[in-house]
Amino acid sequence: MKLAITAEQQMLRDSVARLFAEQSTPAKVRAAEASGFDPALWQHLVEMGITTMRVPVEAGGSDLGLFDALLVAEEAGRHLTSVPLAESLPAARLLATLGSPQATELLERINRGAVVTLLPWPLDKPAQHVVLPGVGAAEAVLALDGNSIVALTGELLRQPQENLGSDSCRVLAKTQLVSLERELLANSEDARRAFLAAVEEWKLLKGAMLVGLSRQAIQLAAGYSCERKQFGKFIGSFQGIAHPLADALTEVDGSQLLLWHAVAAIAGNQADAAAMVSMAWWWTGQAANRAVACALHTFGGYGVSLEHDIQLYYRRARAWSLLAGDPALELDTIADRLWNEQTEVPLPDAGEVTVEFGYGEAAARFAEEVREFFEAALTDELRAHAHHSVDGYHPGFNRALAEAGLLFPHWPEQWGGRGKNAFDMHALQEVFETFNWQRITGPITNQVAQIVMRFASEQAKAEALPRFARGEALACLGFSEPSCGSDVFAAATRATRTVQGAWRIEGQKIFTTAANLADYCFLLARTDLEAPKHAGLTLFLVPMTLPGIEVQPVHTMQDERTNITYFSGVEVPDCYRVGEVNAGVSVMAATLELEHSGDQYRVSYWNMYRHALQWAREQDRLGEQDVRRRLAKVAVHTTIARDLCYRATWSVQAQAPNRAAYGPMSKLFSTERYHRDAVDLMELCAPLSLLQADEGVGLVELGYRQSIGMTIYGGTSEIHRSLIAEQGLGMPRSRT
């Protein structure tokens, strides 16, 4: 994955952002509501060359790519621009593609400032009413009738019509369309395909406008929450305000990633490109409407007042998202494009696209290497032993993975690794999940080892790291305690200096998963009772063979074993201290950054969806509309989850600015959607989903039991929502 935009794209975004900030103020948006069109703003866009940015150079445009157009459209949406940008850009490019004298003459009028839009569905589509977006000031509307592309004109298009968004769209009865004048522009199969491709471009551009609109509404609400006080506190410090806005921001970020992903897929000629376009259109509308409702709610009673700007966003978000009709119909389109091999969808020319999605070709090759290893090494005995929990740990296979360089391949060669990157590890994790091989002992041990590499003494490194690398030793985490839950910094377990300079540890830790197998416990202990809560903590790599350690099992409904571990007078040499005394918070910050990524949970989510889809095929249910729609939703959600997780990984590698909220977003979305979709898929697959099994629908049932715990592991969803609100929106701290 690569998400950095070029310097030229940043300049383009900045220039249109300045223009819209000056020329599309809330006051000017209100002034244009009667017609839904701002002629002065349109003229500025004409002069800047924005209206013909997608037109080839030889036809009078600048031939910029579709991704560049998305950046412009997002800024237009942020400022609620009263111009038909999403409709006119693909219409102009379509005319240049057609090349007929009539189309060329109409394009020349666009170059001089005329407005030409398009009708985003065929005229022969069976519907009683149709929406013509952005036509209030249009000289012509391009429409498809069979293989013919026609230009619709007539006074009926300009007649004002009050509508929800106070936009320049018109809703006409099918019978009214007959009264419009028609000029034939082209008639061929190629023309039909070009028009359909323009419609796909319109979906992406309008979706980008919804993203900009949504993000601005959320920012307005977050800003208000930092100004308005109740009960002596800024309302942004209340979780009831902060958490819904965090959810909204996460969903809108998912919308932007889906749009970018769709354009990259088109540019790469990927098989799922058409499905990605439909996913992006459906999701941006859904996310936008939830976001603006949440934003308006933040303003309380003021939000519904016409004097306040937030209601503009609320009305226009709903209006734009309905321009293509009932959004549920787009779920049918997603399903058809995903699972009907005969479906062929013409797509627009994306031009040059510099962003990249997925884990890349190198990681794909590495995944194939891992897959070949599993197929060769997994005996019948090992397959029978496989289990999703730590019960599936097998010492011999763990050593075999290490010998093959597949246990910790991303480690530096100094410590036995192969220098693989984080995206290689994403690919590896998916293969592990495919073979139902547990992904618990390895990631936990890796998390501990990464911190040991950075902060431990040379003696501890020399002892533990080679053992980890050879697959001979495991680690567990000793953070949570019965009395403090997710607030690990409230740890009461004590570590006291002995006369000999060692540390005596007293206390207990809960949820020490794999402690029954582990050779070391990465333990957080309080070393200064007088210091503030966050300042008196130190970390230790405690050998589990020391006297005074007792591990008791705790079994969960996920068919997993975790533990409660007791430390009674355990004496730990100082060489096992990790980091400086009382500096545990800085070490923990690095630890939690590793844990807060959501991909380890996302992979389980994807596996559940994969098996539900397999069930639908085997039961011959994939032709049923309800089944297709429900599975299409999960397909969208798992795609967003993957993009959010990969973005978090990319942002760390690229040291991207403003990345602090990306990890919490990926974990929050992946686990919350996992749980919600597990509930729905259980209902969809009932009654077979009641039965427990290690394959098929049994993995849907397992997903249901697992998913609720994953909203808790690695920090609860509430913790992550607070982090997103604080780090992504600049809201006050919502935890004490």
- Three-state secondary structure of 573-617: CHHHEECCCCCHHHHHHHHHHHHCCCHHHHHHHHHHHHHHHHHHH
For residue 627, what pLDDT band results from cuts at 50, 70 and 90? very high
For residue 126, pLDDT beyond 90: no
Q: Measured between alpha carbons, how far is 720 from 182 in angstroms, rounded to an integer? A: 56
Asked if residue 320 lies in contact with residue 209, where contact means CB atoms within 8 angstroms, the answer is yes
Same domain (yes/no): 580, 519: yes
Nearest of 721, 725, 722, 717 to residue 736 by alpha carbon: 722
Same domain (yes/no): 601, 717: yes
For residue 516, pLDDT beyond 70: yes
Same domain (yes/no): 718, 601: yes
What average pLDDT does the segment 294-303 reach? 96
Average pLDDT of the chain to the nearest whole number: 95
Asked if residue 587 lies in contact with residue 527, where contact means CB atoms within 8 angstroms, the answer is no
What average pLDDT does the segment 612-629 reach? 96
Same domain (yes/no): 562, 619: no
pLDDT of residue 486: 66
In tens, the pLDDT along 715-732 reads 899 999 999 999 999 999
pTM comes to 0.95
Same domain (yes/no): 533, 641: no
Question: Of 522, 556, 588, which residue sits at a domain end?
Answer: 588
Alpha helices (H) along 404-544:
422-434, 441-455, 458-469
Q: Measured between alpha carbons, how far is 537 from 478 in angstroms, rounded to an integer? A: 13
What average pLDDT does the segment 238-247 reach? 97
pLDDT over 70, % of the chain: 98
Domain extent at residue 416: 360-439
Question: Of 555, 588, 621, which residue sits at a domain end?
Answer: 588
Same domain (yes/no): 547, 606: no
Rg (CA), the chain: 29
Is residue 284 one of the residues assigned to a domain? no
For residue 483, what pLDDT band results from cuts at 50, 70 and 90? confident
Is residue 484 one of the residues assigned to a domain? yes
Between these two residues, 657 and 18, which has the higher pLDDT value?
18
For residue 700, pLDDT beyond 90: yes
- Least reliable range by pLDDT among 327-336, 488-497, 561-570, 610-619: 488-497
Number of domains forming the structure of the chain: 3
Is residue 555 one of the residues assigned to a domain? yes
34 CB-contact burial (10 Å; exposed 0-12 / middle 13-18 / buried 19+): exposed
pLDDT of residue 592: 59
CATH, residue 582 = 2.40.110.10
Please enumerate in sequence order all residues whose Cβ is within 8 A of that of 223, keeping only pairs 6 or more positions apart, or say none.
Answer: none
Same domain (yes/no): 570, 633: no
Is residue 173 one of the residues assigned to a domain? no
Same domain (yes/no): 635, 663: yes
For residue 441, what pLDDT band results from cuts at 50, 70 and 90? very high
Helix (H, G, I), strand (E, B) or coil at 677: helix
pLDDT of residue 178: 87
What average pLDDT does the segment 383-408 reach? 96
Same domain (yes/no): 600, 580: no
What average pLDDT does the segment 151-178 reach? 91
Question: Of 439, 463, 490, which residue sits at a domain end?
Answer: 439
In tens, the pLDDT along 192-214 reads 999 999 999 999 999 999 999 99
Same domain (yes/no): 480, 534: yes
Same domain (yes/no): 602, 717: yes
For residue 550, what pLDDT band results from cuts at 50, 70 and 90? very high
Is residue 705 one of the residues assigned to a domain? yes
For residue 62, pLDDT beyond 60: yes
Q: What is the 3-state secondary structure (H, E, C) of 503-570?
A: EEEEEEEECCCCCCCCCEEEEEEECCCCCCCCCCEEEEEEECCCCCEEEEEEEECCCEEEEEEEEEEE
What average pLDDT does the segment 420-436 reach? 94
Q: What are phi and psi of 125, to 5 degrees?
A: -70, 130
Helix (H, G, I), strand (E, B) or coil at 143: strand
Is residue 271 one of the residues assigned to a domain? no
Is residue 698 one of the residues assigned to a domain? yes
Q: Measured between alpha carbons, how far is 272 from 334 in angstroms, rounded to an integer? A: 10
For residue 593, pLDDT beyond 90: no
What average pLDDT does the segment 490-498 reach? 94
Nearest of 456, 447, 442, 440 to residue 539 by alpha carbon: 456
Nearest of 695, 725, 723, 720 to residue 710 by alpha carbon: 720
CATH, residue 705 = 1.20.140.10
pLDDT of residue 598: 77
Same domain (yes/no): 554, 525: yes
For residue 590, pLDDT beyond 80: no
Is residue 625 one of the residues assigned to a domain? yes
